Every structure is written in structure tokens, then in C-alpha cells.
């Protein structure tokens, strides 16, 4: 599997991502040509070689002539859907933009469709789509990312002075559960190191971990500032994974309960999922003296083991929780939104060894469509699955046929 790792020494922004991708080998002209199908008028993407500290890399700039300004993320998505870009690129770009919309709403006290300020320019759309398209051109099948430096101090925006990271970037980092670190060297005036655009892209595409991998290509994207305390770079390394990426070590927590109201189990399971459990399930069992009981099981990442155990002890009547380590092989998966003949729907895409194998409609999307249209839920499932497979699985079928 071809993987890539982002080392965010100087943080992450759309321009830095584009710079790292171009420096790693993607043709800037081919990238710009593919982006021309976006309805943005005339624009150019330029690069020049420069240094940040002792590190050389690409400094990329996006320049747009008399382009439309987008008041909302929904307007950006509408422009994206007019393009002729490959469906996987469009779907991932839409997901990143929707994450940006959620963050803007959060930053504006829950106001959906919040007005965009700096983010409302065409540069934002080019940064998001260009970065996702560039990773696709590199053939990256799985992206990983280092912890993100928060930045420090105050920077200026159309909203006025803001503390780093910005409210929108902070919302994205919080919702994604992204790990953060202080600025390199503890710089007190590092400024903005993670932009909302950069945060939205990596939070949508990347896992915050570092894989064992070979390195076949590498590149550095440069930030605009050149601080003395650290090299303001985003390093990208591309290569082959050295370990099976489908295997993960997990903690399995179990407890037997025979003295608790049945209504309490779903609530405990809901809290476990909110904590981050991979799975939670209930099994009917027979306990001492023939009493019927229920075994509550939860599968969590090892880092959540103690929190999950404490939650089970607090929210159930049990006096103890068994824990053991287990392994699970996993197919990669992602949730993408697509347009169908019945309306927009989210589907889960199953991926293995770089190939998309199957699609599965998300219940909530199908339920909403069934409610809105009056169509039977099972018919909605069939239509969404069929149309999603036709749109998303064609490229993988071509690879298998080859």
C-alpha cells in the first residue's frame, strides 16, 4: 500500500500542502490544468524555491483574477460539483469543505451557513481541492500526520485580532480529536501555524499516527514566514507501508450483569461510543444459579482503556470489568457524501489494498430521504447503493481488470 506521512514542523496550511506535494514530484502545470474545470475564472499557481532555516523547499502561491467570492461553504460545494474532477477527489473535497462549514458554524455560536471572511475567496477552494487532487496524483492510498503545533500569540484577521489557533481551526482540531503540541522551541510569538483550511484537509484525510514505511518520494512545503526558532516547513514523505496496515491492537472490556434494568444498557453503550469505542455489544448469558444475565462488551483503543472501564463501573451495576488485549484486522473505510437521484446521501466505502471493494448506505441518510420522499426505506437503500457503486467503484474495477 502506498502511504504518505506529513511532518508538520511549521504547522499546516493549504499553500504549504500544495508546496509539499509539488516538491514531492507532482507537476504544477498538470495540477493547475486539472483544476481548470472549477468555475473560478482565470487563476494561476506559481512556485519558487526558497529556504526556511537550513531546509529547501517549494513556496507555492495561488493567484486568482476577478474570481467569485463565496459567502458560504455551501456555495463552494456548489462550485465544486460543477467541475469535471474525478468523483473520489470531489467526494473527499466535499467532505473537507463540510468539515470547514461545521467549524465555522461552531465558531459563530452554532450558526449554520455562517458568512465566510478570509475563507470565502477562491484560494480556499483551490487549496482544498488542489491538495486532495495532488495526493491522488501521487497515488497516496493512506495518509498519516504528525501532531499539529498550535501556534501562539495573536494574529490579525477580518474578524479583528485572534489568538492562535483560530476559533475555526480549534473547532476542527477538537472535533477530529487531533493531537496538538506547543510551537517548536516554545516560541511565544509563533503566530498562526494551523489554518482552518489546512486543519480541515488533514482532519478529513489523515490518521494521526506515524507508519513504518519506505521512502520513495519526499517534498517540503514552505510557510510564508521565516522564523529564527524553527524551519517553517511541512515535510511530506511518500512510500510503501512496511507493516500490514489492517492489524490493530485493541482492548476488549467485558462484564457480566444480572441486576440492572434493561433500559440502562443502551445508555451505557451510547456513552461508550461517544468516548470513542470501536464497537459495543450485548450478549445474553446464563450466570450463577441459572440466572439470566447480559454480558456488556466494548472494544476500545488501548489509550481509552482506563476511561472506558471507569465509565462502565460508573454507569452500570457491575463491580468489576475484565480486560484483555486483542488484535483486529481492519479494512480501511471512509464515509463520503454523493448526489443520487433521490438526493444527497452518505455512504461508507470499504477499501482494501488500495481498492474500493464495496459501498454501504448510511442509515440516517436513507431514513431522511425516505421521510422526505415517502419512498420505502428498503427502496431508498437499493437506489443509493446502486448509484454509489456506479460512481465510486468504477476506478477500482478498472484496476482489478488490469
pLDDT for 161: 74
pLDDT for 283: 96
Considering the entire predicted model, what is its pTM? 0.63
Residue of 326 and 221 predicted with greater confidence: 221
Cell of 120: 470565502
Q: 166 pLDDT band (50/70/90 cuts)?
A: confident
Closest CA to 309 of 317, 298, 294: 298
Q: Which residues contact 242 (CB under 8 A, 6 or more apart)?
A: 211, 212, 213, 214
pLDDT for 329: 81
pLDDT of 394 > 70? The answer is no
Q: What is the mean pLDDT of residues 128-143?
A: 94
pLDDT of 158 > 70? The answer is no
pLDDT for 154: 72
* CB 156 within 8 Å of CB 117: no
Q: 337 pLDDT band (50/70/90 cuts)?
A: confident
pLDDT in tens, 240-294: 988 655 567 889 999 999 999 988 999 999 999 998 899 999 999 998 888 899 9
Full set of structural domains in the chain with CATH: 2-240 (no CATH), 247-329 (3.30.70.1380), 332-401 (3.10.20.300)
User: Cα 71 vs. chain centroid, distance in angstroms?
Assistant: 23
| Peptide linkage before 70 cis (omega within 30 of 0) | no
Q: What is the mean pLDDT of residues 79-106?
A: 88
Rounded Cα distance, 107 and 172, in Å? 10
Residue of 31 and 333 predicted with greater confidence: 31
Q: Hey, which bits of 176-277 come out as E strands? A: 180-181, 206-207, 217-222, 233-240, 247-257
DSSP 118: G
pLDDT in tens, 203-229: 999 989 888 899 999 999 999 999 988
pLDDT of 103 > 80? The answer is yes
13-22, 319-328, 350-359, 384-393: which is most confident: 13-22
Query: C-alpha angle with apex 246: 206 to 171, nearest 5 degrees?
Result: 25
Which residues, listed in sequence order, are joined to residue 347 by a DSSP beta bridge? Answer: 336, 361
pLDDT for 392: 84
pLDDT in tens, 35-83: 999 988 888 899 999 999 999 999 999 888 766 677 788 888 899 989 9
pLDDT for 312: 96
What is the rounded average pLDDT for all residues in the chain? Answer: 87
Instruction: Identify the weakest region by mean pLDDT among 163-172, 243-252, 297-306.
Output: 243-252
Surface-to-core class of residue 299, CB atoms within 10 Å of its CB (0-12 exposed, 13-18 middle, 19+ buried): middle
Instruction: Identify the weakest region by mean pLDDT among 115-119, 299-303, 325-329.
Output: 115-119
pLDDT for 67: 60
16-30, 183-197, 242-256: which is most confident: 16-30
Q: What is the mean pLDDT of residues 93-106?
A: 86
pLDDT for 267: 94
Amino acid at each position: 500500500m502506498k502511504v504518505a506521512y506529513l511532518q508538520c514542523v511549521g504547522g499546516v496550511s493549504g499553500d504549504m500542502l500544495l508546496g509539499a506535494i509539488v516538491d514531492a514530484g507532482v507537476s504544477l502545470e498538470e495540477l493547475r490544468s486539472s483544476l481548470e474545470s472549477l468555475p473560478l475564472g482565470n487563476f494561476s499557481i506559481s512556485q519558487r524555491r526558497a529556504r526556511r532555516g537550513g531546509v529547501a523547499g517549494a513556496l507555492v502561491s495561488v493567484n486568482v483574477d476577478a474570481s467569485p467570492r463565496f459567502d458560504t461553504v455551501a456555495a463552494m460545494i456548489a462550485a465544486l460539483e460543477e467541475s469535471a474532477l474525478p468523483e473520489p477527489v470531489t467526494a473527499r473535497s466535499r467532505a473537507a469543505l463540510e468539515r470547514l462549514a461545521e467549524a465555522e458554524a461552531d465558531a459563530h455560536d452554532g450558526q449554520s451557513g455562517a458568512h465566510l471572511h478570509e475563507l470565502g475567496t477562491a484560494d480556499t477552494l483551490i487549496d482544498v481541492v488542489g491538495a486532495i487532487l495532488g495526493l491522488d496524483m501521487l497515488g497516496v492510498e493512506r495518509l498519516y500526520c504528525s501532531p499539529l503545533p498550535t501556534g501562539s500569540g495573536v494574529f490579525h484577521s477580518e474578524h479583528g485580532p485572534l489568538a492562535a489557533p483560530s476559533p475555526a481551526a480549534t473547532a476542527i482540531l477538537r472535533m477530529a480529536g487531533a493531537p496538538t503540541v506547543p510551537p517548536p522551541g516554545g516560541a511565544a510569538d509563533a503566530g498562526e501555524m494551523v489554518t482552518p483550511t489546512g486543519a480541515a484537509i488533514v482532519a478529513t484525510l489523515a490518521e494521526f499516527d506515524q507508519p513504518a514505511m519506505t521512502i520513495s518520494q519526499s517534498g517540503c512545503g514552505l510557510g510564508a514566514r521565516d522564523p529564527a526558532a524553527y524551519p517553517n516547513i511541512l515535510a511530506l514523505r511518500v512510500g510503501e507501508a512496511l507493516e500490514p496496515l489492517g492489524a490493530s491492537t485493541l482492548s476488549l472490556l467485558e462484564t457480566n450483569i444480572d441486576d440492572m434494568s434493561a433500559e440502562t444498557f443502551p445508555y451505557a453503550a451510547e456513552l461508550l461510543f461517544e468516548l470513542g469505542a470501536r464497537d459495543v455489544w450485548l450478549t445474553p448469558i446464563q450466570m450463577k444459579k441459572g440466572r439470566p444475565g447480559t454480558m456488556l462488551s466494548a472494544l476500545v483503543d488501548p489509550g481509552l482503556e482506563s476511561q472506558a472501564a471507569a465509565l462502565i463501573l460508573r454507569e452500570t451495576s457491575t463491580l468489576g470489568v475484565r480486560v484483555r488485549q486483542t488484535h483486529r484486522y481492519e479494512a480501511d473505510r471512509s464515509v463520503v457524501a454523493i448526489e443520487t437521484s433521490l438526493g444527497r446521501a452518505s455512504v461508507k466505502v470499504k477499501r482494501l489494498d488500495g481498492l474500493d471493494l464495496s459501498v454501504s448506505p448510511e442509515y440516517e441518510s436513507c431514513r431522511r430521504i425516505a421521510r422526505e420522499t415517502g419512498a420505502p426505506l428498503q427502496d431508498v437503500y437499493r437506489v443509493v447503493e446502486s448509484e454509489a457503486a456506479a460512481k465510486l467503484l468504477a476506478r477500482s474495477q478498472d484496476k482489478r481488470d488490469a
